[in-house]
Homo-oligomer: A and B are copies of this chain.
Amino acid sequence: MYHSAMPEPPLRPPMRQAILDAAIDTFARNPGASLSEVATRAGVGRASLHRHFASRADLIAAASGQCMDEIDAATAAALKDARTARDRLSRMLEAVVPLGDRYHFLVSEIVDDESVHKRYEDELDWLGHLADDLKAEGVIAADVPRSWVVANIDAQTWLAWSEVAAGRLAPAHAADLALRTLLEGLGP
Interface of A is mostly: helix
A125 to B184, CA, bound (A): 26
A26 → chain B, closest Cβ, in Å? 14
Residues of chain B with a CB closer than 8 A to A186's CB:
181, 184-185
Residues of chain B with a CB closer than 8 A to A147's CB:
163, 166, 168-169
Q: Within 8 Å of chain B (Cβ to Cβ): is A172?
A: no
- Which of A80-88, A112-120, A151-159 lies at the interface? A151-159
Task: Count copies of this chain in the complex.
Answer: 2
Per-position binary interface string of chain A over residues 65-104, scored 1 when its CB falls under 8 Å from any chain B CB and 0 otherwise: 0000000000000000000000000000000000000000
A147 to B144, CA, bound (A): 26
Residues of chain B with a CB closer than 8 A to A163's CB:
145, 147-148, 151
Task: Say yes or no: A151 contacts B159, CB within 8 Å.
Answer: yes
List, sorted by A's number, 12 A–B pairs whose CB atoms are closer than 8 Å. Answer: A30-B110, A145-B169, A145-B177, A147-B168, A148-B163, A148-B177, A148-B181, A155-B155, A155-B158, A180-B185, A182-B185, A184-B184
A interface with B by C-beta (< 8 Å): 30-32, 110, 144-145, 147-148, 151-152, 155-156, 158-159, 162-163, 166, 168-169, 177, 180-182, 184-187
